[in-house]
Amino acid sequence: MEVRRLRRLVTVPALVVAVAVTAAAPAVASDTTPVQAQVFTRGYDTTNVASLTFDLDWRTGTAAEQAVSRANFETVLQVLAANGITGGFGMTGRFAEQNPADARRVVAAGHKIINHSYSHPDFMTLTQAQRWDQLDRSEAAFRAAGVSSAGWFRAPYRSGYLDAGLNRDLAARGFYVNLDWTFDTTGYQAADWPTVSDRIDRFTVPGTIIVMHVSTPSSDPGHLQQIIDKLKGMGYGFVSPWQAVTRGLIRGKYLAAGGASSVFGAATTGELDATTAATAVQWFQGGRIYYSPAGGTRFVRGAILTKYRALGTVTSVLAFPTSDETAGAGGGWFNHFQGGSIYWVAATGAHSVQGGIRTKWWSLNGEAGFLGYPRSDETKLTGGYGSQFQGGNIYWTSGTGAHEVHGGILTKYLSLGAMSSALGAPTSDEYVVAGGYRNDFLHGAIVWSSATGTATVIQN
CATH class of segment(s) 14-244: alpha beta
Distance CA 398, CA 382 (A): 12
| CB-CB contact of 115 with 142 (8 Å) | yes
**What pLDDT score does 65 carry?**
83
| CB-CB contact of 280 with 306 (8 Å) | no
Sketch the domain layout of the chain as residue ranges: 14-244
Low-confidence ranges of the chain (pLDDT < 70): 1-29, 58-60
Q: In what order do the strands lie in the sheet with 349-353?
A: 326-327, 333-337, 340-345, 349-353
> Is-above-0.85 flag for pTM?
yes
State in Å, rounded, how far the first CA of the chain is from the last one: 87
Q: In what order do the strands lie in the sheet with 444-449?
A: 431-433, 436-441, 444-449, 455-459
**What pLDDT score does 14 carry?**
33
**What pLDDT score does 6 carry?**
34
Strands (E), 239-361: 280-284, 287-292, 296-300, 326-327, 333-337, 340-345, 349-353
Distance CA 397, CA 212 (A): 66
Distance CA 163, CA 159 (A): 9
**What pLDDT score does 29 carry?**
52
| CB-CB contact of 266 with 152 (8 Å) | yes
| Nearest by Cα to 378 from 351, 405, 404, 345 | 351
